Amino acid sequence: MLDSLSIKIIKWPLTQCAKLIDKCGVTANQMTLFGFVLGCLAFPALALEEYTLALMLILLNRLCDGLDGALARLQGITDAGGFLDISLDFLFYSLIPFGFVVANPDQNAVAGAFLIFSFIGTGSSFLAFAIMANKRGIDNPVYQHKSLYYMSGLTEGTETIACFVLLCLLPQHFAIIAYIFGAACWFTTFTRIYSGFHTLIEHD
């Protein structure tokens, strides 16, 4: 819901940083992989309940995710880069709640499983429609520089980052935050399925 707004705010500073990084010879795919490694390091930090460190690694991962897109726009957007980016993003999104589950399985296991389950819903509806939209040549006027159709919803990247930040700041309330955000994700999933289905019918 907030991605279209946040992109407008961060696009210029990310582009300026990407220009400097591009001069150093760093590719968009290298930035994607580097960010993913940083994101993976958040898992042991969460498992050890080092929540401040985990928060820093999560934010660095998201910064790299923004920079790889900015680099791709400078160097040329590719299907391979888009595939790598979205695949690692969804792995990272699922890894974070899993870290909270490992840290405190007695209190967080069910809520964490529900949150990961909800990510399956948002991710599958997002990617399934992107495939069909590409097949039919349906363009998204809001996100014109994405490698695939970016289907909006109540819970997008910005909201997910905010959820992860809140979880790290208030780990004792993981369960309630996970249930609330998971429910919002399912609202996004159902609205995407409904709108995507009717959009594709119109293009059949």
From residue 69, alpha-carbon distances to 6, 59, 109 in Å are 14, 16, 34
pLDDT for residue 199: 82
Range from 5-14, 30-39, 98-107 carrying the lowest mean pLDDT = 5-14
**What is the percent of the chain with per-residue pLDDT over 70, rounded to a whole number?**
89
Task: Tell me what pLDDT residue 145 has.
Answer: 45
**Angle, helices 174-203/157-169, rounded to nearest 10 degrees:** 170
Position with higher pLDDT, 189 vs 134: 189
What is the structure's pLDDT at 195? 86
- pTM score, two decimals? 0.85
Cα pseudo-dihedral 203, 192, 118, 128, rounded to 10: 20
Q: Which CATH architecture has domain 3-203?
A: Up-down Bundle (1.20)
Q: How confident is the model at residue 151 (pLDDT cuts 50, 70, 90)?
A: low
Phi and psi for 142 in degrees, rounded to 5?
-80, -45
Report domain extents, the chain: 3-203
